[in-house]
Amino acid sequence: MRHAALIFAITALLAALTPAPAGAQGTDSGWIGEWNNEALFDSTTTRTELLEMGRAAVVLEQYGLAEMYYREILLRNPADVGAMWELAAMYRNTGRLEYARGLLTRAGALQPGRNDINEARREIERDLFAQVSVEVDTLMARGKYERALPRLAVLLSIDAENATMHAYKARCLSAIGQNDAALSNIQLAIAKDPRDEFYQLRDEIAQSVEQHRIAELEGSARSLLQSGDWVREEASDALQALLAQDPSNEWAREQFRALSEGATPPPLPSDPLPPRQVVDAVRDIAPGFAAVLNNHLPLILGFLTVLLLIRSPIARAIAAHVRRPSLFSGDLSRIDVADVLRVAHGAALTGAILLKTSDGKARVYLADGEPVHCAGFGLDGVDALTWIVREVHDGHFWYRTVRSMPDATIDQPLALFLADGVSSPGGAPERKSRKKSRMSELLETKSD
């Protein structure tokens, strides 16, 4: 009778609180707000009353209200296993399996002798494992590897010995570039279940790791060679490291032999200026002359040459839009932005590094090698520099001196932007003696 009276009272209150039919007010969250405003319980409300009101709300399918009552009980007594049991049952019936599992895990730790709690938790974990496995398969099939990783963590928290899930995690980590962590996970999968497919995946990840390291070493060597003779010894060290990883690299062998013999290394291939770059530069300054430029380009180029000779302000404005040769420049598909900034930091450059990619342009202003301002891709300051370091992987870069620096928008050291497991750019490698290295002797022996 008492339960029937409670249900009747709650039903009457719900009817009184229900506004004119409108979609948003019918949700559980809306009901919670209404009931809280009515202050239907306070500190004098007993646990038994809260429990009965929660059960009555479940009967009425007002699950948000029921959750509010059960949580009030657990706020008063976090060790109330009875309330945990009933709230977990409601979560399970409404499909919130992770919440139900968490409550039953907590209840089982408080009362480890209750077999019913442990059995219910195991049943929920079986259902949850099946549900999340489908989510992971769907995410990986769509290439959403980063989103699949937290769901894999749930699966491995249920079954830490599942070799297949460790292999899935390795594949996801490799897909987002975390190859070292991927290798650790595939090795763990092999230790638990030495399948041929796991060994094949390990070989693929190991090959990817090796290719990435070789690409990084080659990018560093190229950037050092482009910087001039003042980093000659550092360039030699970088070439030695590259040849140790990839002895068949003919370009590195040729560059190292030239450095060892004291000759000038063969010039690096430079990217030719686009044939219409002058046209594009003038179009940026005076869009109305675009048609004239297309029809009378030779005549206009001759006129611009005269203006350059007499150092006209107009010519200087046009020249500012045409990329000038730079001793420090290169292809961003061959060298990471992070390596470019490391070289600039080691050389304590003061000026601007300009980037031109398929997505747009950007500038990084440096003072003694440290970034002071960055702008590009619709961003400024710290956000722009962070985005450039992480997201730019193609295009070209070149360095220029500047007459005046913009207002500083970055007050963080470069090392913070490059803290991704790569050695800090805090200092240049120690200079070594000029005597021939073992690698040089080996090269000379092979050439003989």
Instruction: Find out whether 354 and 303 touch, Cβ atoms under 8 Å.
Output: no
Q: Count the domains in the chain.
A: 2
User: Is residue 7 assigned to a domain?
Assistant: no
pTM value? 0.45
Kindly tell me if the per-residue pLDDT of 226 is higher than 90: no
pLDDT level of residue 232 (50, 70, 90 thresholds): low
Complete DSSP assignment for 63-74: HHHHHHHHHHHH
User: Is residue 53 assigned to a domain?
Assistant: no
User: Is residue 356 assigned to a domain?
Assistant: yes
User: Is residue 149 assigned to a domain?
Assistant: no
Greater pLDDT, 47 or 35: 47
Kindly tell me if the per-residue pLDDT of 54 is higher than 90: yes
308 shares its domain with 355: no
User: Is residue 219 assigned to a domain?
Assistant: yes
Q: Of the spans 58-62, 214-218, 297-301, 432-436, which averages the highest pLDDT?
A: 58-62
Q: Buried b / exposed e across 163-181, counting CB within 10 Å, b at 16+?
A: bbbbbbbbbbbbbeebbeb
- 294, 321, 348 - which closes a domain: 321
304 shares its domain with 400: no
Kindly tell me if the per-residue pLDDT of 269 is higher than 60: no
351 shares its domain with 303: no
282 shares its domain with 411: no
253-262's contacts with Cβ under 8 Å and 24+ in sequence apart are 253/443, 255/221, 255/225, 256/439, 256/440, 256/443, 257/440, 257/443, 257/447, 259/232, 259/235, 260/236, 260/436, 260/437, 260/440, 260/443, 260/444
Greater pLDDT, 89 or 3: 89
265 shares its domain with 382: yes
Q: How much is the average pLDDT of 396-413?
A: 87
Instruction: Find out whether 66 and 41 touch, Cβ atoms under 8 Å.
Output: no
In single-letter form, the type of residue at position 252 comes to A
User: Is residue 183 assigned to a domain?
Assistant: no
286 shares its domain with 220: no
Phi and psi, residue 378, nearest 5°:
80, 10
263 shares its domain with 333: yes
Kindly tell me if the per-residue pLDDT of 127 is higher than 60: yes
Residue 108: what pLDDT? Answer: 92
Domain that holds residue 288: 277-321
What is the distance between the alpha carbons of residues 32 and 38, in angstroms, rounded to a whole number?
10
The residue whose two tokens read 């060290």 is: 237
Kindly tell me if the per-residue pLDDT of 20 is higher than 60: no
User: Is residue 403 assigned to a domain?
Assistant: yes
User: Is residue 246 assigned to a domain?
Assistant: yes
221 shares its domain with 283: no
Kindly tell me if the per-residue pLDDT of 349 is higher than 80: yes
286 shares its domain with 263: no
Element spanning 171, H or E: helix 163-175
337 shares its domain with 401: yes
264 shares its domain with 349: yes
251 shares its domain with 367: yes
Residues in the chain: 448
